[in-house]
Every structure is written in structure tokens, then in C-alpha cells.
Amino acid sequence: MSTPTLSSTPPKRRHRGLLLVLLAPGLLALLATFILPMAWLFRASFSDSVMAAFGGGWTLTHYLAAVTDPFYWRVALNTLTLGVAVSFFAVLLGYPIALFLARTQSRWRGVLTALAVAPLLTSAVVRTYGWMVILGDRGVVNGSLQALSLIDTPLRLSNNSFGATVALVEILMPYAILAMLAGFGRLSTQLEEAAAMLGANRLRVFWRIILPLSLPGILTGALLVFVMAISSFVTPRLMGGGRVFVLGTEVFNEATVTLNWPLAAALSIVLLVLFSSVIVIYQRALRRLEE
């Protein structure tokens, strides 16, 4: 299937001066906030000076440390597992809400949309605290189960990767919903009605029309959540109680506690490489979808 382009082709030649004015602030901002930091990060990961910000000689030590130490292999695996699990469940649980919001004619639609996005207005740190309250040893779940005498000792729901995963799914779900809603532009009730009129049942309409048309939105949502999940460290750190080791927590540790900036930079590059492979896979999938 092909995407219909909404805008007609722009005029070939307009004022070049105006174009420069349009581009200059953005290019400057990109240089300062993205290009330079990324270049510096790359350089620092090879630096033999601990205060990597100021240059130093070149060395491969930090990469060798990251690649030869089995601890970092486990950290990388933990990170990938967390990212996949979180994006899978965030999309799975967010999809029904997004689909409902995109199609409903209800007069509650505005309120329900606001409710679905409202968690975004609360800091992720605050919602992590909410999950500490729910999953903690004396939290909502354990407190209720003990009050009902169903368990004697509290279940271990937090201070481990289970707690970190549950909290991250909820924290990132609104982003998945928003991304899916934005990507659902091609959903059309007319098309569904046409299919229904031609004799397709509800399941078939969903399977053959709604799902394929919402697939770009689903993929974008999954990618967005994955990006945020593998780069997160606040939630894994607080919910993991220091027992969940992902690349995010290790980078933060090296950068602010151990103050080994070159190692922090090298681990960041490892995270980036891990990550780029996923982006490439995503783009391949999207291209196949558009064919």
C-alpha cells in the first residue's frame, strides 16, 4: 500500500535568503545541543585522561574493559530484555485505548483523551514513587494480601527487575498511546463500513483493515517506548533498589559516582550501538510495510 502525500510538491525556487533565516537558528541549536556533544562523547570514550572533557591521549582501554568484563555483557543483556519487555507491554496495553480514542464518537472523548495523557503531566520520578507505594513490601498489594491473610511474608514485587518493568510500562504507556494516535491518521470508518457492507465480520474488519492501517502507529509507539526504556535509569535505579543493573544505571554510576568519564562515555557508545541496530531494523520493517 502506498501513502498518499497530503502536500503537493513545493515550488522549486523561492527566496533563498528566507530559507537561510528559517534554517540558521535550528542549525545552531542542533550544533550546540547534539552534534558537538556527540562528537565530544566519541572523543572522550578514547581518552586516557579521567577528566575526559579536556582531551588527553588516545586509548582503547575503556572499550576493552567494557567488552572483556562479563559483568557488562550481563548489563547489556538486561538492558535489551527490559527494553523489549517494556515496549511490548506498553504497546499491547496502550493499543486498545488508542484505538478507542481514535474511533469513538462519544462526547466523553475529550475527557478520556485527557485522562490517558494526564500521567504525562506528572514527573516520571513521581510515578516511580507511586509504584514504590503499590509494589513495596508494605505497599498496596502486599498490605491488602496480608490483611486478607492470603500471605504471611510480603511478595518480592519491588527492588527487582519485575518492579522496574511494571513501573516503566505504566510510565511510558502514555507516550505509546500518543504515538499510536498520531499514526492512526489513515484509519477510516468509511473503509470499515464498506468492508462490513461487503460481508466482512468484525474480526475480519479488524484483521484486514484496522490492524494493517494502524501498524505504522504501532511501530512508532513501540520504537518510542523502546528508546525511552533502554535509556532510563531513574526508574530501574529507584524500583530496582540498586539490584537492577542496566546500561543506564551503570553510565550514571560512572559519570557521577565513580567519576570515570571516559568509561561512562565508552558505555554510552555501547548503548548507542545497541540502539542503532534496533533503529535499522525498525526502518527496514517500516519500508517493507510501505511496499
Partner 1 sequence: MRTLRNLGLTLLYLFLLAPIIVVFIVSFDTRQYLAFPPASFSFGSYAKVFANEAFLSAFGRSVVIGLVVGLVAVSIGMLLSMALVRYRFRGREGLNFLVLAPFLVPSIVLAVGLMLVLSPVGLLDTYAGITLAHLGITIPYTVRTITMSLMAVDRRVEEAARVHGASAFTAFRRVTLPLVRPGLIAGGVIAFLISFDEAVISLFIVSVRTSTLPTEIYRYLEYSTDPQIAALSVVLILISIAVVVLVERLIGLRRAI
Of residues 69 through 128, those in contact with partner 1 by CB under 8 A are 93-94, 96-97, 100, 109-110, 112-128
63: Cβ contacts below 8 Å, ≥ 6 apart? 45, 266, 269, 270
In sign, the C-alpha dihedral spanning 25, 30, 31, 37 is positive
Q: How far is the CB of 25 from partner 1 (least distance, A)?
A: 5
- 193-225 exposure pattern, b = at least 16 Cβ within 10 A, e = fewer: eebeeeebeeeebbeebbeebbebbbbbbbbbb
- Residue 259 contacts partner 1 per CB under 8 A: no
Instruction: Identify the three-state secondary structure at position 291.
Output: coil
- Residue 252 contacts partner 1 per CB under 8 A: yes
The binder of partner 1 chosen from 1, 6, 148, 257 (CB under 8 A) = 6
- Residue 257 contacts partner 1 per CB under 8 A: no
Q: How far is the CB of 251 from partner 1 (least distance, A)?
A: 6
Helix crossing, 161-183 with 211-230: angle to 10°? 140
- Residue 50 contacts partner 1 per CB under 8 A: no
CA distances from residue 208 to 149, 201, 214 in whole angstroms, order as listed: 49, 10, 11
Binding to partner 1 (CB under 8 A): which residues in 141-180?
143-144, 167, 170, 173-174, 178
- Residue 198 contacts partner 1 per CB under 8 A: no
The binder of partner 1 chosen from 87, 230, 245, 253 (CB under 8 A) = 230
Q: Select 43 or 191, whichever has its Cβ closest to partner 1.
A: 43
- Residue 225 contacts partner 1 per CB under 8 A: no
How far apart CA 89 and CA 99 sit, in angstroms, is: 16
Using CB atoms within 10 Å of the CB of residue 40, give its burial: 0 to 12 exposed, 13 to 18 middle, 19+ buried: middle
- Residue 4 contacts partner 1 per CB under 8 A: no
Q: How far is the CB of 289 from partner 1 (least distance, A)?
A: 18
Q: Which three cell numbers stand for residue 147?
A: 490483611
Q: How far is the CB of 68 from partner 1 (least distance, A)?
A: 21
Q: Per CB under 8 A, which region of 34-42, 58-66, 187-195, 205-213 contacts partner 1?
A: 34-42
Q: How far is the CB of 83 from partner 1 (least distance, A)?
A: 10
